[in-house]
Amino acid sequence: MQTLYLDIFSGISGDMFLGALLDLGVDFRELERGLRRLQLDGYHLHVSRGSKSSIVGTKFDVHLEAGHGHDHGPGTDCGQGCHHDHDHSHSHPHSHGASGEHGHDHGHSRDFAAIRQLIQASPLSDWVKERSLAVFRRIAVAEGKIHGVPPEQVHFHEVGAVDSIVDIVGACLALELLGKPRVLAAPVVEGTGWVRCAHGRFPVPTAATLEILGARGVPVSQCEEPHELVTPTGAALLAEFAESFVPMSGLVARKVGYGLGTRDNRTRPNVLRAVLAEGPEAAAEHDWETDTIAVLETNLDDVSGEVLGHFVESTLKAGALDVFHTPIQMKKNRPGVVLTVLCQTADADRFTERLLRHTSAFGVRRTLTERRKLRREFIRVKTDFGEVPVKIGRLDGEAVQVAPEFDACRDKAVQAGVPVRTVLAAAEAAARNLLSGS
């Protein structure tokens, strides 16, 4: 199985991603033929060779045809009125200029439900349809959280416009044409500066980008480049496809492609470098998410149950991924516990200090371990007892776990005077019916 490594030292957007994959050898005619299956009009594609900072690569453009109505000024909209005041990696010629003014014909906006219907009705492969919808779903969930609306009701403007539908569906098509490689990425680096939103200026990273990456548990660092580097679409592609975000390790580069952006950056070439490589194989060809976490452990034989209980509760509130203790027998036949804290690697020192300060520990063992996680999404379902949030766990596109949110079900059960298991069963059944399309 091939590995695709995304070296995102200068960020990522949908069109840069497509440019990089075309530069690796994806057949443009096959890509264009696949996109026609969407039955989406009002655009045509353009691919050209160019260079940024003397690096030659491929520039991918979506040209909207006259009269289509989605005429941007020189910025982009992240979906709910947030104007990206930059000339970043998007290469859409209708999107970027210099004055910073921005306009929309919102008559061409689409909500997530309409986008889903468009994609599902197409004759694209099941894999392309599932992954395209998963990328859009990540953006919808983020925008819904930011603006306080259900994901299904989120109206996309820039992300729902023709050019960005082409970017997202085209990215999934290109990966399929490349053979569905395993995808790895460098750590996410974002710039600094400001974008203009409906309610004023907002700092980079944008709210949507942070929400998308945060929901996946992806760390973000900023650099000195005074512009946005990672767009919401780029963030959603990373969150959906990249197994991990680490420096290259053990990869043998067989081909390198460069996707060009539009702006001339101040501190780095405005390119996305994509490396098609042979390297460590994934344990199995599944679409589960992978990350690395820290496991902190200490053996204790002189701490009370009250102290342990308080430590578990307070440490979870402090941001640990999980905290638990396991009974053991220690030296001199003393009963004790192994106290374990799971946390993000960046938080390992903070929680090590917490263990040393708030327990009787004299030392803490630390290991780094990989996780395999189901791809998660959150939906809300209607039951006879009211609306309930449900967590969905997907593996290879299949919903293998359906977990209603317990606290919400408990509250509904108390209000209705029924057993909580009744509400749990109703919420799970409603979720499965929704997922099956019935």
| Spatial distance between the Cα atoms of 167 and 275, rounded to a whole number of angstroms | 20
**What is the percent of the chain with per-residue pLDDT over 70, rounded to a whole number?**
86
Strand order in the sheet with 76-77: 76-77, 82-84, 194-197, 200-203
Parallel/antiparallel/unpaired status of strands 76-77 and 82-84: antiparallel
**247: preceding bond cis by omega (within 30 degrees):** no
pLDDT tens string 138-181: 999 998 898 898 888 887 765 457 888 999 999 999 999 999 99
- Phi, psi at 428, each rounded to 5°: -65, -40
Parallel/antiparallel/unpaired status of strands 335-344 and 322-329: antiparallel
Host H or E run for residue 372? strand 365-373
Q: Which of 28-32, 88-92, 372-376 ranks highest by mean pLDDT?
A: 28-32
pLDDT tens string 223-243: 999 999 999 999 999 999 999
This prediction has a pTM of 0.62
